Chain A
Amino acid sequence: GAGVSQTPSNKVTEKGKYVELRCDPISGHTALYWYRQSLGQGPEFLIYFQGTGAADDSGLPNDRFFAVRPEGSVSTLKIQRTERGDSAVYLCASSLGQTSADTQYFGPGTRLTVL
């Protein structure tokens, strides 16, 4: 079946602009995670949704970052007033969300470049 998809695959924007990154999880997966991967680093957690609600947003770096999942499926990560330090690959993952053993399946990522 179809895996996790993310759009766009690449996004170039200017400092100060607003961007939205989209994640389509695997159908039926109730848990959805956003991670950010900077150059030379492993993925770092941003926010986790269980259904429509954000169960853990402790990884969001500041209030410029916000994410929604209004219908419990697609999620959008929103970044306001982008800064050059926001440049990274943004990864989305989903899992069944039923048990601790559920595997997190990752999307291909969105590479964000802030000029």
Chain B
Amino acid sequence: AQRVTQPEKLLSVFKGAPVELKCNYSYSGSPELFWYVQYSRQRLQLLLRHISRESIKGFTADLNKGETSFHLKKPFAQEEDSAMYYCALKSTGNTPLVFGKGTRLSVIA
């Protein structure tokens, strides 16, 4: 069965501190992994995907197949990073996303 686990419901960090949002997954095969973000009063939007191997807004995420993890990292948190973050996976093809329960990131000034 496909499953995404985000162990932290809430993560609070000070501005300028490093951030790591954890994501572990369960999937028999080669999944595609994503991070979606939802800022206050805005819709859910794609932040980054593992196949792109890019950095968006200073965030990066590396797929570790051995540990079945896809943790989201940023070296220096900014106040505008405060939002709800969801890790998600899908199988290949046009298939639905399986989401974790989300982690609320609060960056304190």
Interface size on B, residues (CB 8 A): 23
Whether B96 is near chain A, meaning CB under 8 Å from some CB there, is: yes
Complex CA distance for A4 and B43, rounded to whole angstroms: 10
0 or 1 for each of A1-38: is its CB under 8 Å from B? (1 = yes):
00110000000000000000000000000010101000
B34 smallest CB distance to A (angstroms): 9
Complex CA distance for A48 and B44, rounded to whole angstroms: 18
Whether A72 is near chain B, meaning CB under 8 Å from some CB there, is: no
A42 smallest CB distance to B (angstroms): 3
Interface residues of A in 48-65 (CB under 8 A from B): 48, 50, 55-56, 59
- CB contacts (< 8 Å) of B99 on chain A: these are 35, 42-44
Complex CA distance for A43 and B89, rounded to whole angstroms: 12
Chain B residues within 8 Å of A, Cβ to Cβ:
4, 9, 32, 36, 43-46, 49, 51, 86, 88, 92-102
Known contacts A4-B43, A105-B46, A107-B43; 13 additional CB pairs below 8 A are: A3-B43, A35-B96, A40-B9, A41-B102, A42-B88, A43-B86, A43-B97, A44-B99, A45-B97, A100-B93, A100-B94, A101-B51, A104-B97
